[in-house]
Structure 1
Amino acid sequence: MKKTTVMLVMAMAGVATVQAEPVKLYGQLNVSAQSGDEGEGRFSELKSNSSRFGLKGDYALEDGLTLVYQLEWGVNVSDSSSSNVTARNQYIGLAGNFGEVRLGRHDTATKMSQGKIDQFNDFEADVGGLWEAEVRANNSISYFTPSYNGFGAQLTYILEDSVDAEDAVSAALFYGDDNLKDSNIFLSVAFDSEVNGYDSVRVNGQTKVAGVKLGAMLQRQEDIITGLEQDGWLLSGAYPLGKTELKAQYQTLEDDKAISLGLDYKAGKDTTLFAWYSSFNLDTPTPDRDYLAVGIKHKF
């Protein structure tokens, strides 16, 4: 709690001392009451699903340059342990006609390449539950190209930070709008080299037909040390019914499988009530597991 208080005071002090700059305080609270069975019997708990807060902004410089920055922290609002506050994307950078460069901690290009395809992001059935390559990289330099005719790219270079390590690279090519607002299609292809001990290739696509969102992802990953190669795929869908959205997702990694069903209810502009069920069938020594949750998410 002491650490949380210090970080919150620092954040608020930052807002107060840079009033001349366009600084935005933002975040989200996402908490669910959850019942789970991970092979040893059913139990209940409150889960803070990547609740977060942060500061971000930009500042006009000379010669057509803009300073950009973001400081974001995750906060566990259901637990007062020593890991209550954790670092998320935190960077400083420059933007201009050349694109944008960010220095610090940032999601890799492969992680960013999924767009909004993962309908259960931040929950138990997040794609990172089965797949590698969902990395928020320390010591990274990220470059974003300008958008041209719907195309854009991201390159993440991760510095080794150790004499025994290797520099790593993550790159992605994008087309369309990942929010499916400016266009009804989003496509991307990405790869990782030496990122957190894995090489990977990922292909993503999402479209909207008569208001229904349909998404698909393919991934091949290889453990650099063992040489183990694994393939997986994911299908997702979201169907709107007034203020309610019905969601479904199916993900595999070789013989491991996860299926999820859920619904979101828009209770207000920034507030969503949700319920979901996820089941994992795992062909490993790890026992099968399933989860049922209801909760509330509020953005500010």
Structure 2
Amino acid sequence: MFAKKVVVAAVLLGLFGAAGTVQADPLTVYGKINVSAQSSDDGAGQFSELKSNASRFGVKGDYKLENDLTLIYQLEWEVDLTDDANEKNIKGRDQFIGLTGSFGTIKAGRNDTALKLSQGKMDLFNDYEADIKTLWKGENRMNNSLAYITPKFAGFSLMVSHIMEDSEKGQDGQSVALMYGDEGLKDSPLFASVSMDNDVNGYDSSRVFVQGKVAKIKLGAGLHQQEVMAGGKKEDGYLLNAAYPLDKFELKAQYQTLEDHDGYSLGTDYKLGKETKLFAWYSSFDFYNKADTDYLAIGIEHKF
């Protein structure tokens, strides 16, 4: 009996030793929780509410392969912290698998289009009521999407998205963006992009963005054009914004138009730590074909 126990122990130790030599797949768990208390006037009346502003969680990783190739993947979901726990509480965001190497990066799955990504960090009120998608078409995350991003050359990179038709009655769509510089304005003093959608989610769209720093002030400007595929109606708009850091505060202002629609936002962020901030903002929109809207919010964000 003792001999059998020794043999079993030896086998178990061998298995654990072998398991210890297996290379684990590097995996990162990440997310963001953003919740605000908000006073909303949507044109029908004023009310108060709690808003979960695109709070999310996900896992992502990379794995070294042969021939200098790296496998990359990401699975991300949006979660509504303020809603009932039901089927609408969690929904998919960017989810893909891909390969990266000296040729660039290829991704397959559900991806933000090249036009959407071309904004970099231009939208100072992203994920709030004044997100640029309030007026502009083109903020698309598409299923059945293939994306290719070139390596950077002299500060330039090209991204191409191909959206498959997914049915015999469907239509393929394309999105292309040429980008220059660093969207965080840390490695370069300027970020600029030119992008275009062809038959994506029912629209043809094009954009030009420029963002840079003058002293400590971050200034941005953008032009946008969209055309409905079915009716051929074409609309133009522009965006202007500025952000100014002041100790632990960042003061922000943004103005956006689309034909006779326009809206402006004023806000401030206060840094509580490296990954945590308090924020407050006010946004107001004037529409020519529906009731105007106004929003006032104060909230907290934490990234992990």
Match of 2:122 among 102, 117, 131: 117
The TM-score normalised by the length of structure 2 is 0.92
Two-structure CA RMSD over aligned residues (Å): 1.0
DSSP 3-state at the match of 1:59:
strand
Per the TM alignment, residue 189 of structure 1 is displaced from its structure 2 partner at its CA by 0.2
Matched to 2:205, the amino acid is S
Instruction: Output the CA distance in 2 between the equivalents of 1:78 and 1:148.
Output: 44
Runs of 4+ in 1 over 4 A off after TM superposition: none
Say which of 135, 142, 146 aligns to 2:151: 146
Equivalent in 179, 182, 198 of residue 177 of structure 1 = 182
1:254 aligned residue (246, 254, 259): 259
* Residue matched to 1:293: 297
**In the TM superposition, what whole-angstrom CA distance separates every residue of 1:143-176 from its partner, at most 9, and x where no partner exists?**
0000011000100000000111110000000001
Identity of counterpart residues, as a percentage? 59
CA distance in 2, matches of 1:257, 1:42: 20
- Larger-gyration structure (1/2): 2
Q: Distance in 1 between matches of 2:113 and 2:97?
A: 16
Measure the CA separation in 2 of the matches of 1:54 and 1:125.
Answer: 25
Q: Which residues of 2 match residues 217-232 of structure 1 at below 5 A?
A: 217-232=222-237
How do 1:205-224 and structure 2 match up within 5 A? 205-224=210-229
CA apart distance, 1:82: 2.4
Q: Hey, what does 1:33 align to over in structure 2?
A: 37
Give the equivalent residue in structure 2 for 1:65.
Answer: 69
Picking from 99, 104, 107, the partner of 1:99 is: 104
| Structure 2 unmatched runs, 5+ | 1-21
Aligned position for 2:12: none
Q: CA deviation at 1:19?
A: 7.8
Residue in 1 aligned with 2:140? 135
**Counterpart-to-counterpart distance in 1, 2:213 and 2:60:** 31
What one-letter code is carried by the residue in structure 1 that aligns with 2:208?
V
In 2, Cα distance between the equivalents of 1:175 and 1:122? 24
Please list every run of 5 or more consecutive structure 1 residues that lacks an aligned counterpart in the other structure. 1-17
- Rounded to whole Å, the distance in 1 between the matches of 2:61 and 2:222 is 32
Distance 2:158 2:78 in 1: 27
Count of residues in correspondence between the two structures: 282
TM-score, normalised via structure 1 length: 0.93
Counterpart for residue 186 of structure 1: 191
| Distance in 1, Cα, partners of 2:212 & 2:138 | 23
**Following TM superposition, by how much is the alpha carbon of 1:34 offset from its aligned partner in structure 2, in angstroms?**
0.3
Question: Does 2:162 correspond to 1:157?
Answer: yes
1:24 paired with 2:24, answer no
